[in-house]
């Protein structure tokens, strides 16, 4: 078969692409060849895909990836279409959810995506694809901050910044599931939401200095960065730990931590099969749910970016992709 004929027979898919950095409108729909799963990979028909701050940061040029063209998106929930050589975990037809390897595995803002099989776990029956597409990146981030980096356990006191946001609202639920005492920051209208998630105390960060209101913390999860990282150290008990999802440390962070006798780490989320299994278990036990702020069809990804860039989202933004989930 000639190359032309082969290309004509190859199935295609819709994907959101950008060829340059810029505002939301650099995102546009393209028809591209459907990828094939390689060794240890699966091809997933994407039903829903979360939109995260890293999507609009990459879109506008604050990025870890090389220059565009890009198809962004790391979160997804969908159905296995095809498995690559050596895959034992899944078979075509299985419902799965997970996070593609960050940052180099992006591509879930499309009808199909290929990813490492072990980036995924079975989707719990208790949740639909929209829920499942919202959960992986923010929950893995919260899990890796609170559990892997901090060892958060029963009775520990944890301060969670931006507790109504994507990472924050997953973190509050994960911390409560581990028996911690949770203090969350948000603007006042979101405090009922934080209490519904299980927060024991709330701080209106616009009116109250969190350093005055939160003392003797074992763990702080920072999602704000800069001065917020430095000031968060002042809330910790000696030996406590602050983990920040803003990967660039504030100037003097380690020096200040050493002076105070506390620890500080800046993290980047990693695709993680064991973490996804723990997250799926919490979902099955009814201890973890995503709050869906808004859904958008794939082709309106730009509108989802605009909504996210307000930095006021409560819970998660999700793209609905397969026709049956629109």
Ligand X SMILES: NC(=O)c1ccc[n+]([C@@H]2O[C@H](COP(=O)([O-])OP(=O)(O)OC[C@H]3O[C@@H](n4cnc5c(N)ncnc54)[C@H](OP(=O)(O)O)[C@@H]3O)[C@@H](O)[C@H]2O)c1
Integer CA distances (angstroms), 100 to 32, 36, 74, 169, in order: 19, 16, 5, 21
Stretch that binds ligand X, among 18-26, 89-97, 119-127, 186-194 (CB under 6 A): 186-194
For residue 209, count CB atoms less than 10 angstroms from its CB and return exposed for 0-12, middle for 13-18, buried for 19 or more. Answer: exposed
Other beta carbons within 10 Å of 148: 16
Does position 220 interact with ligand X (CB under 6 A)? The reply is: no
Of the candidate spans 23-31, 105-113, 163-171, 275-283, the one that interacts with ligand X by CB under 6 A turns out to be 163-171
**Is 248 an interacting residue with respect to ligand X (CB under 6 A)?**
no
Candidates 84-92, 109-117, 250-258, 312-320; binding stretch for ligand X (CB under 6 A): 312-320
Interface residue with ligand X among 32, 224, 260, 322 (CB under 6 A) is 224
Ramachandran class of 286: left when φ > 0, alpha when ψ lies in -120 to 50, beta otherwise: left
Binding to ligand X by residue 161, rule CB under 6 A?
yes
Stretch that binds ligand X, among 17-25, 26-34, 181-189, 298-306 (CB under 6 A): 181-189
DSSP conformation letters of 157-176: EEEETTTTSHHHHHHHHHHH
CB of 80 to ligand X, least distance (A): 26
Own/partner long-range contacts of 242-246 (Cβ < 8 Å, ≥24 apart): 243/145, 243/146, 243/149, 243/150, 243/219, 243/267, 245/141, 245/145, 245/167, 245/221, 245/269, 246/222
166 binds ligand X (CB under 6 A): yes
- Who contacts 240 (Cβ-Cβ below 8 Å, separation ≥6)? 217, 218, 219, 220, 262, 263
Q: Rounded to 10 degrees, what is the CA torsion of 194, 197, 199, 202? A: 0
The binder of ligand X chosen from 10, 187, 254, 277 (CB under 6 A):
187
**Which residue of this chain has its Cβ atom nearest to ligand X in the complex?**
165
- What sign results for the dihedral spanned by CA atoms 156, 157, 162, 163? positive
Q: Binders of ligand X: how many residues, by CB under 6 A?
A: 30
Contact range with ligand X by CB under 6 A, out of 17-25, 230-238, 241-249, 297-305: 241-249
**Residues between 251 and 290 with contacts to ligand X, criterion CB under 6 A:** 267-269
Beta carbon nearer to ligand X, 17 or 190? 190
**CA-to-CA dists, residue 30 to 26, 176, 198, angstroms:** 12, 43, 42
> Considering only residues 37, 68, 124, 165, which one is a binding residue for ligand X as defined by CB under 6 A?
165
Q: Which is nearer to ligand X, 257 or 304 (CB)?
A: 304
| Interaction pattern, residues 116-145, with ligand X; x per rule: CB under 6 A | ----------------------x--x----
Q: Work out whether 185 is an interface residue with ligand X (CB under 6 A).
A: yes
Name the one range near ligand X by CB under 6 A: 8-16, 234-242, 244-252, 277-285. 244-252
Spatial contact of 195 and 202, defined as CB atoms under 8 Å apart = yes
Applying CB under 6 A, which residues contact ligand X?
A: 52-54, 138, 141, 161-162, 164-168, 185-187, 190, 205, 223-224, 245-247, 267-269, 308, 311-314
């Amino acid at each position: 078969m000639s190359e032309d004929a082969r290309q004509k027979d190859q199935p295609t898919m819709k994907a959101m692409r950008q060829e340059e950095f810029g505002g939301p409108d650099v995102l546009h729909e393209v028809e591209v060849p459907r990828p094939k799963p390689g060794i240890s990979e699966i091809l997933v028909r994407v039903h829903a895909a979360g939109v995260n701050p890293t999507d609009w940061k990459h879109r506008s040029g604050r990025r870890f990836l090389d220059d565009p063209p890009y198809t962004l998106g790391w979160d997804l929930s969908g159905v296995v279409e095809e498995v690559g050589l050596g895959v034992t975990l899944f078979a075509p037809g299985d419902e799965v959810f997970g996070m593609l390897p960050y940052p180099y595995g992006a591509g879930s803002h499309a009808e199909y995506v290929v990813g490492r099989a072990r980036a995924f776990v079975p989707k719990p029956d208790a949740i639909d694809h929209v829920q499942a597409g919202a959960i992986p990146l923010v929950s893995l981030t919260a899990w890796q901050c609170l559990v892997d980096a901090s060892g958060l356990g029963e009775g520990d006191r944890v301060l969670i910044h931006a507790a109504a946001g994507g990472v924050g609202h997953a973190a509050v639920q994960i911390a409560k599931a581990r028996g911690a005492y949770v203090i969350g920051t948000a603007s006042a209208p979101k405090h009922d939401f934080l209490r519904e998630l299980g927060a024991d105390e709330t701080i209106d960060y616009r009116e109250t200095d969190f350093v005055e209101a939160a003392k003797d913390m074992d763990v702080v999860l920072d999602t704000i960065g800069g001065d917020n990282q430095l000031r968060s150290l002042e809330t910790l008990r000696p030996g406590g730990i602050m983990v920040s999802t803003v990967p660039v440390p504030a100037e003097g962070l380690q020096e200040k931590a050493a002076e105070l006798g506390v620890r500080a780490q800046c993290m980047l989320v990693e695709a993680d099969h064991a973490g996804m299994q723990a997250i799926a278990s919490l979902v099955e036990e009814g201890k973890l749910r995503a709050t869906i702020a808004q859904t958008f069809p794939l082709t309106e990804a730009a509108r989802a970016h605009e909504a996210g860039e307000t930095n006021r989202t409560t819970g998660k933004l999700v793209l609905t992709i397969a026709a049956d989930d629109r």
